[in-house]
Structure 1
Amino acid sequence: METKWIKSFLVAAETENFRRAAEILHLSQPSITVHIGQLEDYLGVQLFERNHARVKLTPAGHHFLPEAKAILERMERSVQEVRNYAAHRKAQLTIVISPLLVETIIPHLIYQFSIENTDCDLILLVEESDKMDALLLSGKAQLAVGLLSSHNRAITSRAIHESPLQLVAPLDEYDDESGQIIEAEDLFRHYPFFTDHIATVSTSMNLLVKSHFPYARTISISQSYIVKRFIRDGLGISFLPKYIIRREMMEGRFNIVPFEKFELPTVKTYLHFINVTAEAEQLIQRIMNASLE
Structure 2
Amino acid sequence: MELKWLHTFIAAARHENFRKTAEELFISQPTVTVHIKLLEEEIGSSLFEREGRKIILTEAGKKFIPIARTMIGVYEEGKAEMDRFRQGYTQKLILAMSPLIAESIMPYVLKKFMLAYPNIEISVQVLDSIKIPEAVLSGKVDLGLSRSEIKNADLTCRPLYEDPVILVVPHDGRDSETAPPLDAEELLMNHYLITHNHPEYWDGLLRSLRLKIPTIKTMAVSQVHVTRRFIMEGLGISFLPSSTVRRELLEGRLLEAPCPFLHLPVAKTYAILKYESEKETQFLQFLSQFRL
- Could you say if the C-alpha distance between residues 128 and 87 of structure 1 is closer, same or farther in structure 2, counting changes exceeding 3 Å? closer
| 5+ long unaligned stretches in structure 1 | 1-80
Superposed, which structure 2 residues align to 1:116-155 within 5 Å? 116-155=116-155
- Could you say if the C-alpha distance between residues 120 and 168 of structure 1 is closer, same or farther in structure 2, counting changes exceeding 3 Å? same
Deviations 1:2-46 (A, max 9, x none): xxxxxxxxxxxxxxxxxxxxxxxxxxxxxxxxxxxxxxxxxxxxx
TM-score (structure 1 length as normaliser): 0.66
Indicate whether 1:104 and 2:113 are aligned: no
Could you say what secondary structure the match of 2:94 adopts?
A: strand
Does the CA-based 8 Å contact 1:145-1:269 persist in structure 2?
A: yes
- Per the alignment, residue 195 of structure 1 pairs with 195
Q: Shift of residue 214 of structure 1?
A: 1.8
Q: Shift of residue 274 of structure 1?
A: 2.1
Could you say what secondary structure the match of 2:135 adopts?
A: helix
Q: Shift of residue 186 of structure 1?
A: 1.6
Could you say what secondary structure the match of 2:203 adopts?
A: helix
Does the CA-based 8 Å contact 2:99-2:126 persist in structure 1?
A: yes
CA distance in structure 1 between the partners assigned to 2:84 and 2:120 by the alignment: 14
Q: Shift of residue 287 of structure 1?
A: 1.0
CA distance in structure 2 between the partners assigned to 1:249 and 1:262 by the alignment: 21
Amino acid in the other structure paired with 1:267? A
Deviations 1:69-127 (A, max 9, x none): xxxxxxxxxxxx99x94994642211011122123212321232234434332211111
CA distance in structure 2 between the partners assigned to 1:99 and 1:119 by the alignment: 26
Percentage of identical aligned residues: 29
Q: Shift of residue 185 of structure 1?
A: 2.1
- Per the alignment, residue 63 of structure 1 pairs with none
Does the CA-based 8 Å contact 1:170-1:234 persist in structure 2?
A: yes
TM-score (structure 2 length as normaliser): 0.66
CA distance in structure 2 between the partners assigned to 1:189 and 1:152 by the alignment: 40
Tell which deviates more after alignment, 221-230 or 181-190. Answer: 181-190
Amino acid in the other structure paired with 1:183? D
- Per the alignment, residue 237 of structure 1 pairs with 237
Q: How many residues were matched structurally?
A: 211
| 5+ long unaligned stretches in structure 2 | 1-77
Tell which deviates more after alignment, 98-107 or 87-96. Answer: 87-96
Larger radius of gyration: 1
Could you say what secondary structure the match of 1:122 adopts?
A: strand
- Per the alignment, residue 113 of structure 2 pairs with 113
- Per the alignment, residue 207 of structure 2 pairs with 207
